[in-house]
Amino acid sequence: MIHFILLFSRQGKLRLQKWYATLPDKEKKKIIREIVQIILARNQKMSSFVDWKDLKLVYKRYASLYFCCAIEDRDNELLALEVVHRYVELLDRYFGNVCELDIIFNFEKAYFILDEFILGGEIQETSKKSAVKAIEDSDMLQETMEEYMNKPAF
């Protein structure tokens, strides 16, 4: 089971946090600080796996963003790497050449896509088609560009 997923920039700015185990907010903040520090300190030659408490961190950097997920000791590390990759692919497919700014300005979409892909810390849908289709279906219900520009800016 995945315990949490964090996305953060090379500057250590958190871009997305998803928790699959219930923790108090204070504890979450502490964990985020600790993990960002651990991972930013590692260099590219190192493995993508870090033992952390009784969990394992599996991470990968895509351009300016680090994707990190914490899995249990018995979980499959390589597959966790591909979970991260598949999520990046889903974001990419949705946003088209996804970049950090897309995730900053459309953070809610990043959460929705993640929810289609992973639920309760387990993979829900590994097919790219199905997962993206769910989001695109719902986007049919969203505002058009024209509607968007007509909305007030405050």
Partner 1 sequence: MRGLAVFISDIRNCKSKEAEIKRINKELANIRSKFKGDKALDGYSKKKYVCKLLFIFLLGHDIDFGHMEAVNLLSSNRYTEKQIGYLFISVLVNSNSELIRLINNAIKNDLASRNPIFMGLALHCIANVGSREMAEAFAGEIPKILVAGDTMDSVKQSAALCLLRLYRTSPDLVPMGDWTSRVVHLLNDQHLGVVTAATSLITTLAQKNPEEFKTSVSLAVSRLSRIVTSASTDLQDYTYYFVPAPWLSVKLLRLLQCYPPPDPAVRGRLTECLETILNKAQEPPKSKKVQHSNAKNAVLFEAISLIIHHDSEPNLLVRACNQLGQFLQHRETNLRYLALESMCTLASSEFSHEAVKTHIETVINALKTERDVSVRQRAVDLLYAMCDRSNAQQIVAEMLNYLETADYSIREEIVLKVAILAEKYAVDYTWDDVQGYAAKTVFEALQAPACHENLVKVGGYILGEFGNLIAGDPRSSPLIQFNLLHSKFHLCSVPTRALLLSTYIKFVNLFPEIKTTIQDVLRSDSQLKNADVELQQRAVEYLRLSTIASTDILATVLEEMPPFPERESSILAKLKKKKGPSTVTDLEEIKKERSSDMNGSAEPTPVNASNVSTPSPSADLLGLGAVPLTNSAPAPSSSGSLLVDVFSDSSSVAAPLAPGSEDNFASSSDLASSEVVSEEPADAVHDADELIHKFICKNNGVLFENQLLQIGLKSEFRQNLGRMFIFYGNKTSTQFLNFTPTTKPVDPIVDGGAQVQQVVNIECISDFMDAPILNIQFRYGGTLQNLSVKLPITLNKFFQPTEMSSQDFFQRWKQLSSPKQEVQNIFKAKHPMDTEITKAKIIGFGSALLEEVDPNPANFVGAGIIHTKTIQIGCLLRLEPNLQAQMYRLTLRTSKEAVSQRLCELLSEQF
- Print the SS3 string covering the chain: CEEEEEEEECCCCEEEEEECCCCCHHHHHHHHHHHHHHHHCCCCCCCCEEEECCEEEEEEEECCEEEEEEEECCCCHHHHHHHHHHHHHHHHHHHCCCCHHHHHHCHHHHHHHHHHHEECCEECCCCHHHHHHHHHHHHHCCCCHHHHHHCCCC
76-115 footprint of partner 1 as x/- string (CB under 8 A): xxxx-xx--xx-----------------xx-xx--xx--x
Q: In whole angstroms, what is the distance from residue 14 CA to residue 11 CA?
A: 9
Among 2-10, 63-71, 73-81, 91-99, the segment contacting partner 1 (CB under 8 A)? 73-81
Q: In whole angstroms, what is the distance from residue 125 CA to residue 40 CA?
A: 30
What does the chain come to in residues? Answer: 154
15-54 footprint of partner 1 as x/- string (CB under 8 A): --x--x-x------x------------x--xxxxxxx--x
154 binds partner 1 (CB under 8 A): yes
Give the nearer residue to partner 1 in terms of CB position, either 24 or 96: 24
Which of positions 111-150 make contact with partner 1 (CB under 8 A)? 111-112, 115, 119-130, 134, 137-138, 141-143, 148-149
- Determine the size of the site formed for partner 1 (CB under 8 A): 56
Q: For the CB of residue 97, give the shortest distance to partner 1 in the complex, in Å.
A: 18
- Applying CB under 8 A, the residues found at the interface with partner 1 are 1, 14, 17, 20, 22, 29, 42, 45-51, 54, 73-74, 76-79, 81-82, 85-86, 104-105, 107-108, 111-112, 115, 119-130, 134, 137-138, 141-143, 148-149, 151-154
